[in-house]
Each structure stands twice: as structure tokens, then as C-alpha cells.
């Protein structure tokens, strides 16, 4: 049971980073990135390939972040002239492309079998000690990511992103190059998502194309929508709740004697229900975006 | 400062702006008048780089205004306001003001993270400037309120104040007084005059002839996308083409219905039936 709890917490922290990243792009910048899992996947595969080649993880992880940042930059440049909705569709297509490349380029990605047997984090430790060390690392990186995202949301950078979200023409009229802002936030979000993907690979010692299905993107979206778009703390809370639920559902089958092939569908059903319930009952999420009161702050 | 050279803009078969050339000098206040659909807003969009001309060229301060980089004129000192500002509901009034300023440290993600001191100093300076401008439009007390929650008139005033955060050389205003109450309207005229004294040229699209006559050095009247008059505001009412554009061609035997009232600054207030939608 302790090991299960640690597992859920580690996964919460990892997906928390991915959710904070999506929240910066979609919550603050209003960018409907439906290809978040591609950025996660680029980081995950980069770390897998590099550690397989013998690179230690402290070097592979930043490299994976850089690769995913480049991916974010590319997605931003790609659709720079597209309207928001069409760009959202394009991101979904890009994510599927990334998954198909991972599925088919056996020489690089191991094809459908993925890349396994990765030397994970803290190979010197065992069992609970290893899980605790992994949790500490993941939690620390989540904290760092969340603080960074919060800071970026508070300064002029975030202010321009929010103005871009609500009225791009006004942002342009005030002299802000919204394409450049979009590319910047996608590169930053990409690096964060790549960090989450890299951690994921290192923790599970495995990455495969099935981890990059579009459903994973919607899972991250569910976390952000449940927590509250535009609020960093909300993204972390949403990631914890969704991850716990997702991991907890298999236990339900023991409790209520459900056939085991139902748990997969039940998970999808639960995620869908959450999204619907939030959108109908509390569209601003559990921790809504707050208005920044700059004037009152002054001494 | 700002000039248009034989600019035309068509939307499909409709020519909204038709071979317009104009020149705005430093510290000039120019009114852009004409009936609805005469191409005023399209011309403003062209001048500000929000629309690309079908043919012709717009130049500002020695550079060509290009719609491919619509943000650039604003940074060079050519700024515009919107007829309906549609301000964000989840940003405060003060935040919208700061977004109108140029805060290079805070706008850079790296410097936001690595040089908090510079970001804080920069922000403090701009908050001071923003509060000063907000006081001039009676919005200082609402600094921490959601910008999108303001009334239509207040949103216009905030839109104008935000544009002033960067001390533009030329300001293009799209109906600044529509929805603003008369006493504030007078103060706005005073405010715009002060902005001009600070070295800014103004181009104002406006239906309120009193406001135009009170404020403008010169008027450009548009009809069906073409400039039909370029004269002092008080000469407008004597211009046959302008009167016809507003009221239609005079039929023999039917008296002209011009209400000569509200003579502000010696001009005749032309009020037309339905011309102010």
C-alpha cells in the first residue's frame, strides 16, 4: 500500500509538471494545444535514447527538455498564421505524427515495443528508498516548474499572454508581437513538458508509442480544466486528483467485483464525467484564476 | 510624419478606400468624417497597419507600414485605439495600462526569472505613470477592478489611456467619444489637446461635429472611400459635396434640413437623420 501511494504521488508530480506546462500555454496564453503529449513524448524519447546510448540521466534530462522546447518552437512557428481553432487541430495532427514516427522508426525508437530496460533514477537504491528519492526529485522539479510558471504569469510577459488570450488585436495595437509571444510560451511549455516526459521514462524505465495516444493529452487537459485554467496551483491540484482517480480505479474492480477488462473503459468514462461535471458546475475550475491587484500591493 | 500614397483597399467587389492620399504633420489634429460606410474605419485600419492596402503605400517616419508586422508601428510610435475596445474580463484596469507600456525586462521570460530587481523597478515606474494617466480619465479608483467589467464609456477611456502609456508620436482614434457622457467628453477634448501639446499628432474618426470642430485643425471628409474634402472644420458645412454625402442630393423644391445649433467654436453642428448609428 505504501508503495502504491508513493507511486501515485510520483505520477502526480510528473503529470503535475505536464499540467503546469499546459496551463501556462492554454490557461495564461489561451493557446489550445491539443498536442501536449507530443512535447511530453519528445522529452521522454530523447531521454530514453540518450540514456540507452550511455548518457547519465542528469545530462539526458536537460537534453530532453531542449529537444521538447525545440518541438514547442516548431509547433508555434508552424501555425503562426492559423486562427486559434485551426491551430488547435494542427497540434493534434502534429502529436499523432510524433506518435507514428515513434511507432515506425524501429531503429531509433524501438517501434511498437518502445524502449525498455532504461537505467532509471537512483539505481543504487531499492524499493521504498528508491521511490522516496524519486518522489523527492519529482516534487522538487514540480515545485521549481510551478514557481517559474507563476513568476512568468506575473510579469509583463504573462500580462501580454493574458491580453493575447482575451484580445489579440488589442495586444497587437499595443505593440506586442503575438506570434513571437506564442512561440516563446510554446518553447517554455515544451521544455517543461519534456521534463515531465523525461522523468516519466526514467521512473518507469520504459517509453512506448502507446503512452503518446491523444487520450493522454486529454488527460492532461482534464487536470488543467478541473484545477482551473490560468491558475498554477489549480494545475497541480488537478493533476493530483486526476492521477489518484486514474490509479485508484483498478482497485474498484476488487471492491465491486467488476470484470477486469472494464477498468480501462471505466477510466475513460471517469475522465469524461469529470470534464463534463466541471464544465457544467464550475467552469472556472476548483482553483479559479485570480485578478492581480497591483495597485493595492504598492507600499 | 504619417502619409498615405494613393492607397486603395477592396473587399471583393467593394472598394472601401479608393485612391486616398494624405499627409499628417507633427502635432496636427486631423478629423476624419463621413457618413457610415464611407471608409473611415478601413482607412484607420490601413494607416495603423492592421489591414494591408490592395495598392498604394503607407509610410510612417520614413518606414513603410506593413500589415505583416502589425505590432511594429505601435513600437515606432504610431498607435491606435478601437471603436469597441473589448477589454479583458480577467485583467485589472492597471494591468491593461501596464500592457500598454514598454517593459523590456518584464516582457522577457529570461529577465523575468533572473533579474527580479530590474523587473520590479521597471514595474514601479510604470505603475506610477499608469496611475497618473488613470487619474486624468477618472479611473484611478478602479485600478484593481476587472477591465472588462467597466462600462462601455469607461472602457473607451481606458483604451485611450493604455495607448498613451508609450507616448506615441501619432495617435489614431476610432470614435473616442461614442458612449462617453458630455461632461467627460469636454474633458476628453482638453485631454487630447494636452496630448498634442506633448508632441503627439492625432487622427480622429468622429461623428460628433461639435467635438471635431472644437478640436481639429483640419478635416478630411470621406465618401464612398474617396476624400471629398480637406478643409478646416468650419468650412465643412459650406461644402456642397460634404452636405450631399451626409444628407443626399438635394431635390428641387425640398428644403435642406440642417439643424444649426450647438455652435461650438464657431462651427455649425450638422445633425442628420440616422447618420449617427
Looking at residue B254, its pLDDT comes to: 61
d(CA B127, CA B120): 10
Share of chain A above pLDDT 70, in %: 99
Residues in B closer than 8 angstroms to A192, CB to CB, are none
pLDDT in tens, B226-274: 999 999 988 888 888 888 888 777 666 666 555 544 443 344 444 444 4
Domain final position from B149, B173, B196: B149
Residue B6 lies in a domain: yes
Which of A222-226, B63-67, B133-137, B199-203 comes out lowest in average pLDDT? B63-67
Beta bridge partners of B222: B227
pLDDT in tens, B80-91: 999 888 999 999
* Higher-pLDDT residue of A69, B66: A69
Looking at residue B251, its pLDDT comes to: 66
CB B91 within 8 A of CB B149: no
- Listed by start position, the domains of chain A span 2-212
Residue of A nearest to B73 (CA): A175
Q: Which of residues 115-174 of B touch A (CB under 8 A)?
A: 119, 123-124, 127, 131, 143-144, 146, 148, 159, 162-163, 165-166
Looking at residue B182, its pLDDT comes to: 85
Q: Are residues B99 and B181 in the same domain?
A: no
pLDDT in tens, A261-286: 777 888 888 889 988 999 899 989 99
Q: Do the chains contact at B71 and A151, CB–CB below 8 Å?
A: no
Residue of B nearest to A163 (CA): B88
Rounded to a whole number of angstroms, the distance from the CA of A151 to the nearest CA of chain B is 7
How big is chain A, counted in residues?
A: 299
Rounded to a whole number of angstroms, the distance from the CA of B150 to the nearest CA of chain A is 15
Q: Are residues B232 and B184 in the same domain?
A: yes
Among residues A24, A28, A46, which one has the least CA distance to residue A36?
A24
Domain count along chain B? 2
Burial class (CB in 10 A: 0-12, 13-18, 19+), B172: buried
Cβ-based neighbour number of residue B207 at 10 Å: 20
Residues of A at the B interface, defined by Cβ within 8 angstroms: 148, 151-152, 155-157, 159-160, 162-163, 165-167, 169-178, 184, 188, 230, 289, 291-296, 298
Interface test with A, best of B68, B78, B81, B95 (most A CBs within 10 A): B95
Domain final position from B101, B120, B149: B149
Q: What is the DSSP string of B224-260?
A: TTEEEEEE-GGGGGG-HHHHHHHH-PPPTTPPP----
Looking at residue B201, its pLDDT comes to: 96
Question: Which cell goes with B167?
Answer: 507616448
CB B3 within 8 A of CB B22: yes
Task: Count CA atoms within 13 Å of residue B12 on its CB side.
Answer: 0
Looking at residue B257, its pLDDT comes to: 58
Rounded to a whole number of angstroms, the distance from the CA of B74 to the nearest CA of chain A is 5
Residues in A closer than 8 angstroms to B70, CB to CB, are 172-173
Beta bridge partners of B173: B204
Q: Which residues of chain B form beta strands (DSSP E)? A: 2-11, 14-24, 29-33, 55-60, 63-64, 78-80, 170-174, 201-205, 218-223, 226-231
Cβ-nearest to A289 among B90, B103, B107: B90
Q: Do the chains contact at A295 and B127, CB–CB below 8 Å?
A: yes
Q: Are residues B170 and B254 in the same domain?
A: yes
Residues in B closer than 8 angstroms to A296, CB to CB, are 144
Look at the block and give the residue holding cell 501511494: A5
pLDDT in tens, B89-125: 999 999 999 999 999 999 999 999 999 999 999 999 9
d(CA B164, CA B74): 11
CB A14 within 8 A of CB A203: yes
Residues in B closer than 8 angstroms to A178, CB to CB, are 71
Q: Are residues B125 and B196 in the same domain?
A: no
pLDDT in tens, B207-223: 888 889 889 999 999 99
Q: Are residues B136 and B93 in the same domain?
A: yes
Cβ-based neighbour number of residue B67 at 10 Å: 15
Contacts of A203 (CB under 8 A, 6+ apart): A10, A14, A120, A121, A134, A138
Residue B158 lies in a domain: no
Interface test with B, best of A151, A170, A182, A187 (most B CBs within 10 A): A170
Looking at residue B243, its pLDDT comes to: 83
Q: Are residues B203 and B257 in the same domain?
A: yes
Provide the b/e sequence for B84-102 (b: ≥16 CB within 10 Å). ebebbebbbbbbbbbbbbb
pLDDT in tens, B160-188: 999 999 999 999 999 988 888 888 888 88
Partner A contacted by B47 (CB < 8 A): no
Cβ-nearest to A291 among B48, B87, B90: B90
pLDDT in tens, A136-156: 999 999 999 999 999 999 999
pLDDT in tens, A174-217: 999 999 999 999 999 999 999 999 999 999 999 999 999 999 99
Question: Which cell goes with A216?
Answer: 493522454
Q: Do the chains contact at B90 and A166, CB–CB below 8 Å?
A: yes
Cβ-nearest to A162 among B50, B85, B88: B88
d(CA B220, CA B21): 11
Q: Are residues B9 and B40 in the same domain?
A: yes
d(CA B185, CA B202): 16
Question: Which cell goes with B81?
Answer: 485605439
d(CA B71, CA B95): 19
Residues in B closer than 8 angstroms to A188, CB to CB, are 109
d(CA B36, CA B51): 19
Helix (H, G, I), strand (E, B) or coil at A50: helix
Question: Which cell goes with B179?
Answer: 458612449
pLDDT in tens, A227-265: 999 999 999 999 999 999 988 887 777 777 777 777 788
Angle CA B99–B105–B108, to nearest 5: 80
Q: Are residues B110 and B223 in the same domain?
A: no
Q: Are residues B106 and B183 in the same domain?
A: no
Q: Measured between alpha carbons, how far is residue A291 from residues A168, B141, B146, B252 in Å?
A: 19, 16, 7, 62
Looking at residue A249, its pLDDT comes to: 82
Q: Are residues B118 and B72 in the same domain?
A: no
pLDDT in tens, B14-55: 999 999 999 999 999 999 999 888 999 999 999 999 999 999
Q: Are residues B80 and B174 in the same domain?
A: yes
Range of the domain at B95: 88-149
Mean pLDDT over B50-68 rounds to 91
Q: Are residues B176 and B207 in the same domain?
A: yes
Looking at residue B272, its pLDDT comes to: 47
Mean pLDDT for chain A overall: 92
pLDDT in tens, A77-115: 987 778 888 999 999 999 999 999 999 999 999 999 999
Residue B183 lies in a domain: yes
Q: Measured between alpha carbons, how far is residue A103 from residues A44, A45, A115, A156, A217 in Å?
A: 14, 11, 11, 41, 17
Look at the block and give the residue holding cell 502529436: A95
Amino acid at each position: 500500500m505504501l508503495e502504491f501511494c508513493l507511486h501515485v504521488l510520483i505520477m502526480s508530480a510528473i503529470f503535475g509538471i505536464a499540467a503546469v506546462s499546459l496551463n501556462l500555454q492554454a490557461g495564461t496564453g489561451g493557446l489550445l494545444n491539443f498536442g501536449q503529449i507530443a512535447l511530453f513524448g519528445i522529452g521522454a524519447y530523447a531521454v530514453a535514447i540518450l540514456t540507452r546510448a550511455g548518457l547519465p540521466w542528469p545530462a539526458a534530462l536537460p537534453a530532453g527538455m531542449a529537444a521538447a522546447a525545440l518541438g514547442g518552437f516548431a509547433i508555434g512557428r508552424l501555425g503562426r498564421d492559423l486562427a486559434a481553432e485551426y491551430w488547435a487541430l494542427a497540434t493534434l495532427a502534429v502529436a499523432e505524427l510524433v506518435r507514428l514516427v515513434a511507432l515506425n522508426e524501429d531503429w531509433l525508437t524501438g517501434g511498437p515495443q518502445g524502449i525498455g530496460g532504461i537505467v532509471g533514477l537512483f539505481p543504487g537504491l531499492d524499493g521504498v528508498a528508491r521511490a522516496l528519492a524519486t518522489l523527492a526529485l519529482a516534487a522538487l522539479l514540480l515545485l521549481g516548474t510551478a514557481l517559474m510558471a507563476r513568476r512568468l504569469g506575473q510579469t509583463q510577459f504573462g500580462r501580454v499572454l493574458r491580453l493575447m488570450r482575451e484580445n489579440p488585436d488589442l495586444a497587437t495595437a499595443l505593440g506586442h508581437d503575438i506570434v513571437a509571444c506564442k512561440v516563446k510560451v510554446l518553447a517554455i511549455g515544451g521544455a517543461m513538458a519534456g521534463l515531465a516526459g523525461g522523468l516519466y521514462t526514467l521512473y518507469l524505465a520504459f517509453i512506448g508509442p502507446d503512452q503518446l495516444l491523444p487520450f493522454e493529452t486529454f488527460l492532461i487537459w482534464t487536470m488543467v480544466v478541473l484545477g482551473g485554467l490560468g491558475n498554477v496551483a489549480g494545475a497541480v491540484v488537478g493533476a493530483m486528483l486526476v492521477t489518484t482517480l486514474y490509479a485508484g480505479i483498478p482497485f474498484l474492480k476488487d471492491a465491486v467485483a467488476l470484470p477486469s477488462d472494464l477498468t480501462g473503459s471505466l477510466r475513460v468514462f471517469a475522465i469524461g464525467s469529470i470534464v463534463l461535471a466541471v464544465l457544467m458546475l464550475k467552469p472556472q475550475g476548483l482553483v479559479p484564476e485570480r485578478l492581480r491587484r497591483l495597485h493595492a500591493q504598492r507600499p | 510624419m504619417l502619409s498615405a500614397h494613393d492607397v486603395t483597399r477592396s473587399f471583393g467587389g467593394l472598394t472601401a478606400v479608393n485612391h486616398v492620399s494624405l499627409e499628417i504633420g507633427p502635432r496636427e489634429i486631423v478629423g476624419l468624417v463621413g457618413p457610415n460606410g464611407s471608409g473611415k474605419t478601413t482607412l484607420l485600419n490601413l494607416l495603423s497597419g492592421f489591414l494591408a492596402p490592395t495598392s498604394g503605400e503607407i509610410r510612417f517616419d520614413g518606414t513603410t507600414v506593413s500589415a505583416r508586422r502589425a505590432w511594429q508601428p505601435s513600437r515606432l510610435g504610431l498607435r491606435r485605439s478601437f471603436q469597441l475596445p473589448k477589454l479583458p474580463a480577467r485583467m485589472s484596469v492597471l494591468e491593461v495600462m501596464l500592457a500598454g507600456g514598454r517593459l523590456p525586462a518584464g516582457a522577457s521570460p529570461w529577465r523575468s526569472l533572473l533579474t527580479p530587481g530590474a523587473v520590479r523597478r521597471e514595474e514601479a515606474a510604470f505603475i506610477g505613470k499608469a496611475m497618473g494617466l488613470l487619474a486624468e480619465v477618472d479611473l484611478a479608483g478602479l485600478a484593481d477592478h476587472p477591465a472588462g467589467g467597466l462600462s462601455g464609456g469607461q472602457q473607451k477611456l481606458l483604451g485611450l489611456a493604455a495607448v498613451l502609456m508609450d507616448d506615441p508620436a501619432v495617435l489614431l482614434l476610432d470614435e473616442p467619444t461614442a458612449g462617453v457622457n458630455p461632461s467627460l467628453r469636454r474633458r476628453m477634448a482638453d485631454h487630447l489637446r494636452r496630448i498634442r501639446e506633448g508632441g503627439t499628432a492625432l487622427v480622429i474618426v468622429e461623428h460628433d461635429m461639435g467635438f471635431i470642430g472644437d478640436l481639429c485643425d483640419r478635416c478630411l471628409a470621406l465618401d464612398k472611400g474617396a476624400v471629398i474634402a480637406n478643409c478646416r472644420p468650419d468650412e465643412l458645412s459650406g461644402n456642397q459635396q460634404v452636405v450631399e454625402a451626409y444628407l443626399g442630393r438635394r431635390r428641387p423644391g425640398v428644403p435642406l434640413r440642417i439643424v444649426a445649433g450647438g455652435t461650438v467654436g464657431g462651427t455649425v453642428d450638422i445633425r442628420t437623420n440616422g447618420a449617427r448609428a
